[in-house]
Amino acid sequence: MDKIYVHEMQFYGYHGLFPEERKLGQRFSVDLILELELRKAGKSDNMEDSIDYGLVYQLTKEIVEGEAKNLVEAVAQSVADKLLMSLPLLQACTVKVYKPDPPIPGHYRSVAVEIYREKNK
């Protein structure tokens, strides 16, 4: 399967278990790997045979900057569900959601959740 990569989309959301996360919000970063057949797009040079990256960004933004969720896992699942439902050519996707500043002690760059989902056949 061919792949489109979208890296380091930046958003501000209100996801988390702690009240301060839901009140103050925090940064989130999302990476996507979109799996679909791109042979037709490569030959036709027509956007209708591929996926609009701007639409992918907008759909992801609606989830990450939308309704607050307790878990980053739920954010990732919602992004995958939205993309698979909204993009007819998309066959599968990998969604990785980074939380750079979670309220946990220690020194690290971020915590992240990565999921892989396929369209039901």
> CA-CA distance, 25 to 23, in Å (whole number)?
6
From 40, 99, 119, 121, the catalytic residue:
99
Q: What one-character-per-residue DSSP string does the chain give? A: -EEEEEEEEEEEE--SSSHHHHHH-EEEEEEEEEEE--HHHHHH--GGGS--HHHHHHHHHHHHTSS--S-HHHHHHHHHHHHHHH-TT--EEEEEEEESS-S-SS--S-EEEEEEEE---
Is 43 annotated in the active site? Answer: no
List active site positions.
99
